[in-house]
Structure 1
C-alpha cells in the first residue's frame, strides 16, 4: 500500500517478550519480519526485549556497547534504567534494546492501581507469569518514553508496537504518558479463545454465544483477559494474524481488528538446487537411521516419512486426530508401503535414550511416561512398531536444537527430509508449522481452523487433496472422525504417487509459500502503521484525557 509522508513512520519501536528470547512462534514472526522492516526503515526500527538471559547464553543478541551510549548512560543515571544495546543475530540485524525490569516490582501495587483507575485493568487475581510480563511491559513503555524525550522526537512520526497481552501495559503506559506516539497492539491468539479450546470446550460452533468477560472468570484468567481487552480497545491500531482469530477478537475483546497482519516467512536460509537435494538426502538418511535403531529392524529406504511438530497441545495442535488417522491408515489392507510417522513434539524429558530396543515409541526418556497422552494413546490403539506393521510411530519429545543427543541437528534439517507433513489443528491462530513445511517444498495437510489454512484456501488451495502442494481439510467442533479419515485417505493416496508426481507436489508447495513470504506480507504492517498514525492524528485533535507528567 502506498503511503504519503504524513502517514509514514520515522521511528518504530516493537516490544515483545520474545525479542532475542526464543520461546515460541512469536519469535519466528518477529525475527523473520525484521529483515523486511530493516529494508524499509533502516536502523529506525528498535526491537525491545527482556534482559533475562546471561550474555553467554544468548546467541541471538550481539551487544554493541557504544550504540546509543549517551542516552543509555543518561537513562541509567537519571531514571535507573538498565538497558543493553546491540543487534539481533538474524537477517537484517536490527537494533535491539534489552532491558532489566526487576526494579519495577517495587512499584507493582501502585502500577496495578494506576492501570485500574486509568483503564479498568483488573489485576486483582493475577497469577503465574502475569506479574513478570506486566513489569516488563511497563518498563518497555518507560524506555520508549525515555528515548523519545532524550532525542526530542516530538516532531517525528513515532510508532510503538506491542505484541500479545504480555505487553499490554506498555501500550497503555504510552497512551497515557506519551500520547503523541501512535500505538499498535497485536494479539497472536486471544487468551480466552486458546483457553476454551485447551479445556476441551467447543469453541467454533458456539463462538457467538460466548461472553469474553464471563468465560475469563470461568477459566480463572481474569487478569490476562482484562489487560488484553483494554489494550486492544485503547490503541490507535489493533491487529491480529488471521481472519479466524479476528472473529475471536471481535467476540471476546469487543473490537474488530483494524488490520489482519498474516505471518510471513523469510526463505533466505533454505537451500536451493543441488544443495537442497544434498541436505534432503542427508536428512532422510538421518531419519531412517534413527528409525532402524529404535525399531530394531530393517526399514525400507523408500518408506513414506510423515511428520507432525509444534507445542505439546494435544487437542489444539491436532495430535489426537493425527494418531487416529495413522490408526485408520494402518488398518487399510491395500496399504503396501511402509509409513514412518515422526511426532516431533517437545515434552518433559530426562535425556536421550540408550536402551533403544526397550523404547518402543520414544527417542528420549520421558520424565512421566505413565501419564504421557501420546504414549498412552499409541498403546491404547495397539501400535506395536513391529516389522509386520506397515505404519510405525516414533515420538521425538526433545527440542530439536542440534544438541538433543539423538539427531543432533535442528528441526529444519529434519523437516526437509520428510515426504509429507500433517498439522490438523483445532486451535491455530496462524500456523507456522504448515507454512514452514511448504517453504521447504514439503507438501502439507492442515485445516480450516488454522490461520495459514484459511489463507491457503483463499490463495492457492484450489485442487482436491494434495495435488497443489497443500490440503486444507474442513474442520469444526463435530467432524473429528471425518478429519482423521480424510487424512488417512490422503496419506494412502500419497504412497501410490511416483517420484515425478511427488516432485510436482513439492514444486506446487514451494510456489504457494512464495506468495506467503514477508516480501508480500510486510505491506499489511505498513497499513497498520498508516492507520495508527491516522487515528492518532484524529485522537490528538480532540481534547486530551491524559496529560504527560
Structure 2
C-alpha cells in the first residue's frame, strides 16, 4: 500500500511498550511504524512511559530539541508530569513523546471515582501493576489532549489508538474529554482468557460457558477486566490480532472486535550476501557454548532446535516442548540433536566456569550441563525442574541434549553475547506449541530466517497459516499441529514425529523447506496487513464524525 486510502491528520498510538522492549507488543509497534510513516509521514505520534533515567537511558529513544518544540514550550501539565520528545530509533523513526507520570498517583482516587461514575470501571480491587498502568495512561490522555488543543483539531481527522488494558484509562479519558477524536482499542490478549489458561482451566471447550465478569471475580481480576471491558465497549473501533482471540473477546468482553493481524518487517534478516556467513557464525557460537557446557565437542552437523518467548510455562507450551523433545529420544535419528530453551527467567548471572570454558582449547566437564546462567530459584523454576525430572543428563552418548538459557539474549548476556535474532538464524528448527497465543511472533520470526517451525491451531499465527497455506513443511515451512484442551500426549507425539522428519531429511529437502518458509513470511509483511488498520481508522473516524454531528 503506497498511498493511504483514508486521510488522517493526527494519529496517536499509546502503549506501555513504546521505546520499552518487554514483549510481543513492542514487535507489533516497532515494525508497524515504518509502514505508518510511509502512509502518514510524521502525522503519527507514539506515546510511551518515561521509565528511564540518566543511569539507565532508553536504548531506543533519540531526543530532539526541535520536534513539537512550540507545543512543548507552552504545554502545562499537572505537577509531577513531564514529557520528552524525540524519535524512536527503529525503521521509520517515528515521533515519540515519553511521559513521566509520577504526579498522577496523587489524583488517582478522584480519577478512579469519575471512571466509575462514567463507565463503571471497578478500581476498588486493584493490585500489582494496575495503579502504575493507570497513572501512565491517564497522563498519556492529558498529553494527547494538550497536543490536540495546541494544534487545533476542528475539521481535522484525529485518531487516538490505545494498546492493551494498560492504556485503557487513557482511552476513557479521551472519550470523556474529546468526543471529536476517534478512538481505537486493541486487546492483544484478554486479561481473563490469559488468566483462565494460566490457572490451568480449559479455555476452548468451555468458552461458551464462561462469563467474563464472573470469572474476573473468581480469579481476583475484577479491576483489570473491568477496565479492559470498558475500553473495549467505549472505543469507536475495538480490534484484536486474530480470529481465535476475536471469539474469546466476544464471549468475555461482550463485543466482537475487528481483526487486525500482526505483520512485521524483514529488515532484521541479513541480506542475501550476508545470510550464509551470519548463519555459520550463529551455529559456531551455539555449538561452542554447548561444547563448553557439556565438556565435549558437539558434531558440526548437529541439528539445533529452540523454543523461546516469555516464561509462561503452560500458556507458551514450554511443558509440551520439553515432553516432545523427551519423546524424540526414542526415535531413530540420523544426527545428534541439541534443543535450546531460550526463555528469560530469574537468572542471577552468567556461570563463571562456563565463561572460562568458552575460551579453553580443550573441553572438559564443568558440572551441571543444563544451565548457561545461574538461577536464583533453581528448585522452584518450572523449566529447570522439568528438564531434570524428565532425566536429561546430556551424556556424550545421548542422541538428544537440552540446554536452558534463562536470560534475555540482548547481546550482553555474558555467554553468547549475541542477540536472539543473531542466534535464531543458526537454528535448524523451532517449536512453539502454544496453548494460549493470540498471535505468535516467534514462529513468524523463525520462518523469516528460513528456519522451519512447528506451532499449533491455538495460536493466531497458526490459524493464519491454515487460512492461507497447506500447513506442511514442504508447502510453507510451517507445521501446524491440532491442539485442544485434552490431547496433550497426542500433540507431543506429533511434534516429535515432525522433528524426526526434519532431522532425517536430506540437505536438498531442507533447503526447499527453508525457501518455502521465507516465502510464507513475506506474505505477512506490514505492506499487506496495514490495510486492516486502515479499515479500523475509517471506522473510528466515521464514529467520531457521527458523534459530533458531521
TM-score (norm 2): 0.95
1:466–1:490 contact (8 Å) kept in structure 2: no
| CA drift at 1:34 | 0.4
| CA drift at 1:82 | 1.4
The total of aligned residue pairs comes to: 538
SS of alignment partner, residue 47 of structure 2: strand
Distance 1:249 1:463 in 2: 26
Give the corresponding residue for 1:503.
Answer: 511
Give the corresponding residue for 1:453.
Answer: 462
Give the corresponding residue for 2:321.
Answer: 322
Give the corresponding residue for 2:291.
Answer: 292
Distance 1:78 1:21 in 2: 24
How has the CA–CA distance of structure 1 residues 302 and 209 changed in structure 2, closer, same or farther, with 3 Å as cutoff? same
Cα offsets for 1:78-107 (capped at 9, x unmatched): 987511110000000000011111111111
Give the corresponding residue for 1:427.
Answer: 436
| CA drift at 1:490 | 0.7
Give the corresponding residue for 2:495.
Answer: 487
| CA drift at 1:498 | 1.2
Q: Are 2:526 and 1:540 equivalent residues in the alignment?
A: no
Cα offsets for 1:146-180 (capped at 9, x unmatched): 11111111210000000000110111111111000
Distance 2:24 2:248 in 1: 19
Distance 2:117 2:493 in 1: 53
Root-mean-square deviation over aligned CA pairs: 1.6
| CA drift at 1:500 | 1.1
Give the corresponding residue for 1:10.
Answer: 9
Q: Are 2:401 and 1:364 equivalent residues in the alignment?
A: no
> What pairs up with 1:49-128 in 2 under 5 angstroms?
49-55=48-54, 57-76=57-76, 81-128=81-128
Give the corresponding residue for 1:155.
Answer: 155
Cα offsets for 1:259-281 (capped at 9, x unmatched): 21111111123112220000000
How has the CA–CA distance of structure 1 residues 467 and 486 changed in structure 2, closer, same or farther, with 3 Å as cutoff? farther
Q: Are 2:373 and 1:373 equivalent residues in the alignment?
A: no
Q: Are 2:417 and 1:418 equivalent residues in the alignment?
A: no
Distance 1:19 1:438 in 2: 25
Distance 2:230 2:76 in 1: 31
1:12–1:45 contact (8 Å) kept in structure 2: yes
SS of alignment partner, residue 48 of structure 2: strand
Give the corresponding residue for 1:546.
Answer: none
SS of alignment partner, residue 301 of structure 1: coil
Give the corresponding residue for 2:363.
Answer: none
Q: Are 2:170 and 1:173 equivalent residues in the alignment?
A: no
| CA drift at 1:471 | 0.4
How has the CA–CA distance of structure 1 residues 2 and 37 changed in structure 2, closer, same or farther, with 3 Å as cutoff? closer
Q: Which runs of 4+ in 1 moved over 3 A?
A: 1-5, 76-81, 463-467
Give the corresponding residue for 1:231.
Answer: 231
Give the corresponding residue for 1:47.
Answer: 46
The 10-residue stretch of structure 1 (50-59 or 76-85) with the greater mean CA deviation from structure 2 = 76-85
2:81–2:104 contact (8 Å) kept in structure 1: no
TM-score (norm 1): 0.96
1:3–1:530 contact (8 Å) kept in structure 2: no
| CA drift at 1:135 | 1.1
1:421–1:442 contact (8 Å) kept in structure 2: yes
Give the corresponding residue for 1:186.
Answer: 186
2:164–2:188 contact (8 Å) kept in structure 1: yes
SS of alignment partner, residue 312 of structure 2: coil
1:43–1:95 contact (8 Å) kept in structure 2: yes
Where does the alignment leave 5 or more consecutive residues of structure 1 unmatched? 543-549
Cα offsets for 1:213-238 (capped at 9, x unmatched): 00001111100000000000001000
Distance 1:141 1:109 in 2: 17
Give the corresponding residue for 2:311.
Answer: 312
2:316–2:435 contact (8 Å) kept in structure 1: yes
Give the corresponding residue for 2:141.
Answer: 141
| CA drift at 1:375 | 1.8
SS of alignment partner, residue 161 of structure 2: strand
Give the corresponding residue for 2:222.
Answer: 222
| CA drift at 1:539 | 2.6
Distance 1:233 1:370 in 2: 44
The 10-residue stretch of structure 1 (467-476 or 119-128) with the greater mean CA deviation from structure 2 = 467-476
Distance 1:342 1:379 in 2: 14
Q: Are 2:444 and 1:444 equivalent residues in the alignment?
A: no
